[in-house]
Chain A
Amino acid sequence: MINNVNDLIKIRDEYAGKIAFRQGQANADGNFKKHVLICGGTGCTSSKSVQIKEKMEEAIKAAGIENEVQVVLTGCFGLCALGPIVIVYPEGTFYSRIEIKDAETIVNEHLVGGNPVKSLLYFETVKGDEILSLNETAFYKKQKRVALRNCGVIDPHCINEYIGTNGYLALAKVVTEMSSQDVIDTLLASGLRGRGGGGFPTGRKWAFAAAQPKGQKYVVCNGDEGDPGAFMDRSILEGDPHALIEAMAIAGYAIGANEGYVYVRAEYPIAVNRLQAAINEARSQGLLGKNILGTGFDFDMFIRLGAGAFVCGEETALLTSIEGNRGEPRPRPPFPAVKGLWGKPTIINNVETYANIPQIILKGADWFTSMGTEKSKGTKVFALGGKITNTGLVEIPMGTTLREVVEEIGGGIPNGKKFKAAQTGGPSGGCIPASKFDVAIDYDNLIAEGSMMGSGGLIVMDEDTCMVDLAKFFLEFTVDESCGKCAPCRIGTVRLLEILNKITEGNGEMEDLDKLEELANYIKSASLCGLGQTAPNPVLSTLANFRDEYIAHIVDKKCPAGVCKNLFTYKIDLDKCIGCGLCAKQCPADAISRTDYIAAGHKLASMSIDASKCVKCGACLPTCKRVNAIYKG
């Protein structure tokens, strides 16, 4: 039991060394010579990191060094494309794409023998004879980890490791030294804005709720992260659950609430388990519950699971869902800060927003405002995806340019392709074209470019991406996820999608572009909630930046990127074809047959595709990679 601040500081002092050790201070841990950190995030877990950990512990025992090496299953390191990931401290050697069979090798050669297994290291960390640490890679160098600071550093199941990072000291400071107004003032001064979408100043939200008459109030965490491709909230829940618990308790103190709810997607079982375990541990240690740290402050919190409805990421829908109903949004005003969960004043912030708060309290608003741009302070986590080398999670100071993110941190576009656009904000956002590659990423710049921050999905597209098809993809998503309550979103998005289908099928007319714009603008201004109000953004932003592509689909009946099936056919260059016949074997539609034409220098007759039978699945393409005779025409 942690009964007071002194108890907390005692634990902090005991565990701080462990954390320093993982930051490269070789002698900081008096007990262990090495720490082996294995990523236990969803990505790495799905590629068997838990089994790798078991295997490694076995091998360590077999080698008799179990008293010298501590093995830790951590949260996500961010470089998901390279998983499963293993890091060995204090040197910070970075192993990527480890398999179960590699565990023994690493133990024997590296931990026992002292020689890192070069063949298993992430190639970027091997520079001739020199082995770089993780922090020296391009992927990490430009990052600034605030919200993710403990992900991949601590054992999320160990509250003491969290306390070792000064965890719960912000809560301690708040409940012993600060008034609720002090907390809100600090947040206001920090300029922290909501990381889940709209970017509303967090301090102002709290101030509204704090100003409501005393009585039952609630603190809610929006963990219903649903933007396709975004998973920063999950990473925080998996890697640093206590940061959320601490922040929500601070929020409770600031607004006068003693009950909190975390609404998490049920699709995140690991996150839910770790958060629940963390809540239980915090409770048993007295950091949740009655009389926290002996100050008389009470706060407890509970998990509610979502059940697969993107709209529940909208705050009023989320509340309706916690109340046990269809997750349909309700009109605002009244705003949740006035009338929220069960009609009581409620604040709702997302996971990443909360994860910033303990740091702001401990290090001060000035520290936070030293990062970022004029109106967007601090850092933002992005989930890089799509056509980019380093897919994964990155945290960058606001104001970093898109080019830096894609080319330096993200390692550029694979296969020598060209950057065409980046999509941010998921289905609510828009595309930033190559001409705006140097835009400094912050809330206002993204909105000025017709996109938005959203929760931080960043999908990179190369020249093979059709922008009309992309708009269609996002719209299909919103049509699927529209709750159906208000007419503009329910009917409007479907009609919008139907027009896009018409265009990608080659039946578009130029008037359709006007209709798209008319309808899109109507849905934006008339919809009940944020989902509908932003649903047309992918259409509007692609129309603004890639109108030519729309026109090509409509006028030339061509899809320049070769994506829209109705607007191209697969053909075989008879003179290039060597007649191997592999393509015909792959074809599910029996559309490929042999001709009687033998090209000069070839032994076998060339193949040809019957366009009337071809289903355009593209299965033939990879079979011809070497010869490259199949093309879209």
Chain B
Amino acid sequence: MKKKLTTVAFNGTEEQFKALDALIAEHKGQAGALMPVLQGAQGIFGYLPIEVQKHIALSMDVPLSEVYGVASFYSQFILNPKGDYAVAVCLGTACYVKGAGLLMDKLESILGIKNGEITADRKFSLDATRCIGACGLAPVLTVNEEVYGRLTPDMIQGIIDKYNK
């Protein structure tokens, strides 16, 4: 899995960095704190750009390469901001057997982006995810927290339209 690096400019705020400093202070001296700090930082900034990782590396006295090594290892850490609407297609076994791949094809053609990309207006991002456990509803996709189940490709346009108003 190769992590995509972002091409959009960083627009972090002072408040976000304050929150990050508070988070780091909370974990000070705690063994194994890098993961929870990265998870918290992603919660604050939405993704983990170099500006944020550098700040974490310096504040926690960890080499930046180690921070990035961890960030690029786990699939939940994203280096690319998510769209306002993060569309995720489950490609777990059940969903796969029930045609989730076709949902992905359809989304790629409707949104004009590939798996792992974000639309130019930052409105939609598209990702494949591992099993989210809603196998009884297969195939499923999620848009942010919203889950859509028992889908067929012809239902995709309707879902996207809902968010495209």
Q: Could you list which residues of chain A lie within 8 angstroms of chain B, going by C-beta atoms?
A: 42-43, 46-47, 79-83, 226, 228-231, 234, 266-268, 304-310, 321-327, 342, 383, 385-387, 391-392, 423, 426, 457, 459, 461, 465, 473, 480, 483, 586, 588, 617-619, 622
Contacts and interface: CB of A to CB of B under 8 A. Distances in A.
Given A308-B76, A323-B32, 14 more contacts: A46-B134, A47-B149, A83-B136, A83-B137, A228-B130, A230-B131, A231-B131, A231-B133, A231-B135, A268-B133, A305-B36, A308-B75, A385-B135, A386-B93
B32 A324 contact: yes
Interface residues of B, number: 42
B106 to A, nearest CB: 8
A308 B35 CA distance: 12
A532 to B, nearest CB: 16
Contact of B154 (A81, A266, A586): A586
A473 B102 CA distance: 15
Contact of A310 (B94, B102, B109, B130): B130
Contact of A46 (B74, B76, B149): B149
Nearest to B147: A46
Contacts of B140: 46
Q: Among A46, A305, A321, A461, which residue has the most Cβ atoms of chain B within 10 A?
A: A46
B156 to A, nearest CB: 11
B120 interface: no
B153 interface: yes
Given A266-B76, A304-B32, A323-B32, A43 B137 contact: yes
Interface of B: 1, 31-36, 38-39, 66, 69-70, 73-77, 92-94, 96-97, 99, 102, 105, 109, 129-138, 140, 147, 149, 152-154
Contacts of A387: 97
Nearest to A231: B133
Contacts of A80: 134-137
B94 A309 contact: no
Nearest to A305: B39
B112 to A, nearest CB: 14
A633 to B, nearest CB: 21
B36 A304 contact: yes
A82 B31 contact: no
A47 B39 contact: no
Nearest to A385: B94
A322 B131 CA distance: 22
B31 A324 contact: yes
A234 B149 contact: no
Nearest to A266: B76
A42 B39 contact: no
A349 B78 CA distance: 30
23 contacts: A42-B133, A43-B135, A43-B137, A80-B135, A229-B93, A267-B76, A267-B129, A267-B130, A305-B36, A307-B74, A309-B73, A310-B130, A322-B32, A322-B35, A323-B31, A324-B33, A385-B93, A385-B135, A385-B138, A386-B93, A473-B93, A483-B73, A622-B152
A367 to B, nearest CB: 31
A309 B74 contact: yes
Contacts of A229: 92-94, 131, 135
Contacts of B38: 307
A622 B136 CA distance: 21
Contacts of B102: 617-619
Nearest to B37: A324
Nearest to B153: A619
Given A46-B134, A47-B147, A267-B130, A228 B32 contact: no
A307 B35 contact: yes
Contacts of A266: 39, 76
Closest 7 pairs between A and B when the two form their complex, measured CB to CB? A307-B74, A80-B136, A308-B75, A81-B136, A308-B76, A324-B32, A46-B147
B74 to A, nearest CB: 4
A228 B136 contact: no
Contacts of A230: 131
Contact of A383 (B33, B135, B149, B152): B135
A321 B76 CA distance: 14
A43 B39 contact: no
B72 to A, nearest CB: 9
B94 A43 contact: no
B134 A43 contact: yes
Contacts of B76: 266-267, 306-308
Interface core residue of B77, B94, B140 (most chain A CB under 10 Å): B94
Contacts of B99: 618
A386 B92 CA distance: 11
Contacts of B70: 324-326
Contacts of A321: 35
A310 B73 CA distance: 11
B33 A327 contact: no
A305 B135 contact: no
